[in-house]
Structure formats: C-alpha cells, structure tokens
C-alpha cells in the first residue's frame, strides 16, 4: 500500500514511470533464500523478467544465480555482480556470437534445446579448444494449464528436446571431446498457480531420469525451471508467493540420484509484486456505452494486457469518491492498447494518479519505443526520504 508521503513523491514525478517497492523485493528474496536453503536448492533469477540494474544488484546480493536467454543478458548479469559460475544460458535460438561470448566468459552451463544447437556449440567450443558444459532441455509433455502463449512444455511447443531424439544425442556426446553433459533441464511454462502441475512435472522427470540411468547416464544437475505464478487479482493479499510449498513439492516428489543438485529458474515470482506502473489520466471520455479513462501510459510501458489479455489490478490513488466503471486505455494508436474493460474505480478525472499493479515482471523488460515513445523512467522506494 502507498502512504501519503510516498503518494506525494510519486505525484511530483513526470508520468508514466515504474515504481519499485524494494523492501518488498527484499522480503521476497529472504523467503526464497530461506525456503530453498532447507533442501540445498540453487535458484537462478530469470533475467528476462526484469533486467533493471538496481533490481539485479539486490537479487545477486542474496546469492541467486542468473538464467539468461541472450548474450546481452549474460553481459548485464556479469556487470551487476552475478558470478559466471552461476550463469546458465537458455533459449532456442542462440547465435554463434552469443555462444562465443558464453564460452569466453566461462558460464556454468548451456541449456540446449535441439540437436543442431548441440552440434554448433560443439563446433565453436572445438575451435576455441574449450569444453562446454551443457544440459539437455527436455520437453516433458506436461501441460502447465496456463495461457497458451506461455506454455512451453508440451509436444507442440518449439522448446526442448523430444524423447525420441535421446539416442541420437547420446551418440553425439560420446563422440565429442568438447561437450560435457552435466544436467537435464525442464521448464513447462509461466504463471502456474496450480501447484499440482509441479507434482506432475516431478513424476515425468523421474521417468526420464530412469531412462537415462538405464543407459548408464546420471547427471549431476537437475534444472526444473520456474513458472510459479503470482496473485494478480489481489496483490496485497499475497505479496510474496508461496515459496514454502513450491519448494516442498519438489523435495517430496522428485526422486534424485546420489549427489544430484536441483536448480530453479524463477523470474516473475521474484519481482512481479514489487513493481507498479504509475500513470496519469489525460482525459475522461464519454462513449456510447462506457466511459474511457485515457492514460499517459500504454502498451509501450506494459504489453501484457495487449499480448495475453492479461489482468492487472488498477487503482486510482487520487480519488476516494463513489465507484464507477471505466475502460482504462492508453494513448497508443492500436485498439489493443487497453489495460482493462469495465474497471471499477473511484470517480476519475483528468490528472488523477493511477497505479497498475504487479508490473515488476515483464513491464519494464518489454517496454518499447513504438510511436516513438520515450522509455519510461524507474523510481525506487528506498530513494524516498
């Protein structure tokens, strides 16, 4: 919740901008660290969720590694203090230049998604006289029961290696002196709120592990990905996700081999609730069947509603009048530039300050300059005196 002094500070700034509650982020990190430590789990932060340097600096200070999906994310991680031996590099389309960067900086591991990618990494590693640590990202065909755009672990998705390719990959690895298989990697999707899905993932991992063991292969690392969802509808009721039960599920249902280490790649659940997009009402326009609250923030500052039809709680920080319904929209020249329809808000007028909640993940990170918009600034709670 925003108190009066924070409101006065935010109201004095040029909108739109991202506002981060750094105290809440720190509480989330403490929870992650404490709950993961019970089982000696290693957590890597998914940089794609939010790569703001202030955010990254705090996250790495709690001992998390970095999960990267581009060469620039690797660079940003290193610049903000993440040790290279805790950096993993994922993604279906790693370029030669990015692979070279990862090899030159001696990252912990490549999460490999296809046979052609494995062959290219082997070729580049050989040219550099290096050995690349790799994990096989396996498509477990487990439905995450989430939005189809953020489901990544079923057979129709572009992500991961399918079981019928295992034999061929084993042959490639046996023939290579420049590849070192150290892990198996899984990630089935994002914004998963039904924790039973993770039990299903564990059962499938156990089956896949047994197949590899039957072929005399036991890896040191099992990376189960991330995907833990957050409460977008009531962010104040659940500001910190249920890390306790999330980690406990993997401890209970994952059958590990001797000395295996378990890794996680959490992004949204780490940073989402600490962020808000602060905007101002430009106009209130009367339509035929509705009123439009037109903001100075749009899909250039928060793409998720336009891309996924995603819900974000919207609050009017300036008004405590009677509730009315508004279609809350942005200024971008696209009909999809809409944050919510029939949103119940206190009577709203020009210059009212609006907070769009739970934007710490995939808000700033997905911002664009479409319509030649200026990228919004960021402000942090620990800068408010």
Using alpha carbons, list the distances in angstroms from residue 11 to 182, 227, 316.
51, 34, 12
Task: For domain 23-271, give the fold.
Answer: TIM Barrel (3.20.20)
pLDDT of residue 160: 83
- Say how far residue 284 (Cα) sits from the centre of its chain: 34
Q: For position 190, what pLDDT does the model report?
A: 87
Rounded to a whole number of angstroms, the CA Rg of the chain reads 22
C-alpha–C-alpha distance, residues 59 and 52, integer Å: 11
- Do 52 and 364 contact (CB within 8 A), yes or no? yes
Q: pLDDT per position in the chain (385 positions), as tens?
A: 688 899 999 999 999 999 999 999 999 999 999 999 999 999 999 999 999 999 999 999 999 999 999 999 999 999 999 999 999 999 999 999 999 999 999 999 999 999 999 999 999 999 999 999 999 999 887 755 544 443 443 445 556 898 899 999 999 999 999 999 999 999 988 899 999 999 999 999 999 999 999 999 999 999 999 999 999 999 999 999 999 999 999 999 999 999 999 999 999 999 999 999 999 999 999 988 899 999 999 999 999 999 999 999 999 999 999 999 999 999 999 999 999 999 999 999 999 999 999 999 999 999 999 999 999 999 999 999 7
For position 1, what pLDDT does the model report? 67
Residue 153: what pLDDT? 39
Determine the Cα–Cα distance for residues 138 and 157; give it in Å rounded to an integer.
Answer: 11
Q: How far is the C-alpha of 15 from the C-alpha of 280, rounded, in Å?
A: 6
Length of the chain: 385
Where do the CATH 3.20.20.10 domains begin and end in the chain? 23-271
Q: How far apart are CA 279 and CA 297, in angstroms?
A: 6
Question: Token pair of 156, please?
Answer: 């129709």
SS3 of residue 224 by DSSP? coil
- At the topology level, CATH places domain 4-16+273-383 in Lyase, Ornithine Decarboxylase; Chain A, domain 1 (2.40.37)
Distance CA 139, CA 221 (A): 17
- What's the confidence (pLDDT) of residue 144? 52
Burial class (CB in 10 A: 0-12, 13-18, 19+), 97: exposed
Q: How far apart are CA 131 and CA 197, in angstroms?
A: 35
Grouping H, G, I as helix, E, B as strand and the rest as coil, residue 292 is: strand
Which of 110, 51, 113 has its CA nearest to residue 82? 51
Q: Where in the chain is the domain with CATH 2.40.37.10?
A: 4-16+273-383
Residue 278 and residue 355 in contact, taking contact as beta carbons nearer than 8 Å: yes
What dihedral angle (degrees, nearest 10) is formed by the CA atoms of 186, 192, 195, 199? -20
């Amino acid at each position: 919740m925003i108190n009066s002094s924070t409101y006065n500070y935010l109201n004095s700034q040029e909108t739109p901008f991202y506002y981060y509650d750094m105290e809440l982020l720190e509480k989330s990190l403490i929870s992650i660290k404490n709950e993961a430590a019970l089982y000696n789990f290693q957590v890597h932060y998914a940089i794609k969720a939010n790569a703001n340097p202030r955010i990254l600096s705090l996250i790495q200070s709690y001992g998390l590694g970095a999960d990267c999906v581009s060469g620039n994310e690797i660079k940003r991680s290193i610049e903000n203090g993440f040790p290279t031996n805790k950096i993993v590099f994922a993604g279906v389309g790693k370029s030669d230049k990015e692979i070279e960067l990862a090899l030159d900086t001696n990252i912990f591991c490549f999460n490999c998604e296809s046979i052609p990618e494995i062959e290219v990494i082997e070729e580049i590693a050989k040219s550099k006289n290096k050995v690349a640590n790799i994990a096989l990202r396996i498509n477990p065909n487990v439905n995450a029961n989430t939005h189809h755009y953020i489901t990544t672990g079923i057979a129709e998705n572009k992500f991961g290696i399918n079981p019928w390719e295992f034999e061929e990959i084993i042959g490639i690895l046996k023939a290579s002196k420049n590849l070192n298989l150290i892990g198996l990697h899984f990630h089935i999707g994002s914004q998963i709120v039904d924790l039973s899905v993770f039990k299903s993932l564990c059962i499938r991992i156990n089956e896949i592990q047994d197949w590899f063991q039957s072929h005399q292969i036991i890896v040191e690392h099992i990376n189960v990905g991330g995907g833990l969802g957050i409460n977008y509808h009531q962010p104040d009721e659940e500001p910190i996700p249920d890390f306790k039960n999330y980690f406990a599920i993997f401890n209970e249902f994952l059958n590990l081999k001797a000395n295996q280490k378990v890794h996680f790649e959490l992004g949204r659940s780490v940073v989402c609730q600490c962020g808000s997009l602060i905007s101002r009402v430009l106009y209130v326009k009367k339509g035929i069947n509705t009123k439009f609250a037109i903001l100075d923030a749009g899909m250039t500052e928060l793409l998720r509603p336009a891309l996924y039809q995603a819900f974000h709680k919207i609050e009017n920080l300036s008004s405590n009048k009677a509730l009315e319904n508004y279609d809350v929209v942005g200024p971008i020249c696209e009909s999809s530039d809409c944050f919510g329809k029939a949103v119940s808000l206190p009577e709203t007028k020009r210059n009212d300050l609006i907070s769009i909640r739970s934007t710490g993940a995939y808000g700033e990170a997905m911002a664009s300059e479409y319509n030649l918009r200026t990228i919004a600034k960021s402000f942090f709670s620990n800068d408010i005196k």
